[in-house]
Amino acid sequence: MNKKNKILLVEDDESLGYLLSEYLKIKGFEVSWAKNGKDALELIEIHPHHLIVLDVMLPDIDGFTLAKNLKNTYPEIPFIFLTARSMKIDVLKGFSLGAMDYLKKPIDEEELVTRIEVLISRLHPEGREEIKQQDIYNIGEYVFDSRNQKLQFNEEIFSLTVRENELLLYLAKNMNNLCKHKEILDLLWGKNDYFNRKSLNVFVSRLRKYLSKDPSVSIENLHKKGFILKANRN
């Protein structure tokens, strides 16, 4: 793994934080370790990071609130949750906030590394021709700049999160054609399960909200099949 991949680990547990940070370093990552939300925000202002690994339970601010702040300020940086909470509603809440993935404690260090490597390789796909084919898409009256994660309608600009950008890019590439649920989940989420299907629906709802200003644009749901982004290409 390229050492240029910088990970921000936000974990207040001294033993677990030390273990994970050292293990990630051994695996070739550059790691910044923050033990609370305040330090995490300070570190990310000083140093750019490729990925944030975020504990849900923090001493000064809960991980969900911190994730909202990070998403609003740094929508281009993906994050995954570490959580001791196994309730379905907590996992879905994490996804609804834009999490790319989640891992339940106790953490398997090798599984964490594997998840991180898969996410980074997909988000920074060096040499993948299909990603480089086109950066700008016209979706009805919208202009979608996938490279910069921007969606523009007239003078209004929406900054997309990594996951929103990924999903809209896939739909835009296949505009006016059916994108099957399984294909989207396998490609973008890496797994087709209950939680990821719920997460997909959340992100489709978000994109619909962004695209609602042009009545000629819609994301249609074909029951048990998939989604179609319908729009004029202009």
For 135-170, write each residue's pLDDT tens digit: 889 999 999 999 889 999 999 999 998 889 999 999
Q: In the chain, how long is the greatest CA-to-CA distance?
A: 56
Find out whether the peptide bond into 106 is cis, omega within 30 degrees of 0: yes
> How much is the average pLDDT of 172-176?
93
**Could you tell me where in the chain the CATH 1.10.10.10 domains are found?**
129-230
Q: Is the pLDDT of residue 233 over 80?
A: no
Q: Give the pLDDT score at 52.
A: 94
Whether the pLDDT of residue 186 is over 80: the answer is: yes
pLDDT of residue 211: 97
Mean pLDDT of the chain: 86
What is the pLDDT, as a whole number, of residue 115? Answer: 87
Q: Which amino acid is at 197?
A: R
> What pLDDT score does 127 carry?
39
The answer to whether 181 touches 200, Cβ cutoff 8 Å, is: yes
Q: Rounded CA gap, 62 and 58, in Å? A: 5
The letter for the amino acid at 218 is: S
pLDDT above 90 covers a percentage of the chain that reads 48
Residue 200 structure tokens? 């997909």
129-230 CATH choice from 3.30.70.1070, 1.10.10.10, 3.40.50.1980, 1.10.287.10: 1.10.10.10
**With bands split at pLDDT 50, 70 and 90, how would you rate the model's confidence at 117?**
confident
Where in the chain is CATH 3.40.50.2300?
6-123
Contact 126, 41 (CB under 8 A): no
Identify the CATH assignment for 6-123 out of 3.30.70.560, 3.30.420.590, 3.40.50.2300, 3.40.350.10. Answer: 3.40.50.2300
Residues 112, 147: Cα–Cα separation, whole Å = 27
DSSP annotation of 157: E
What are the beta bridge partners of residue 154? none
Residue that has been written with the tokens 């988000």 in this structure: 123
Long-range Cβ pairs for the range 151-160 (8 Å, 24+): 151/210, 151/211, 153/213, 153/214, 156/213, 158/210, 159/75, 160/75, 160/210
Q: Which residue has the higher pLDDT, 131 or 228?
A: 228
In angstroms, rounded to a whole number, what is the distance separating the alpha carbons of residues 149 and 196? 22
Residue 100 has pLDDT above 90, yes or no: no
Q: When comparing pLDDT for 89 and 11, which is higher?
A: 11
Quote the CA–CA distance of 55 and 53 in Å, as a whole number: 7
User: Taking the model in full, what pTM does it have?
Assistant: 0.67
Average pLDDT over residues 65-90: 82
At residue 22, does pLDDT exceed 90? Answer: yes
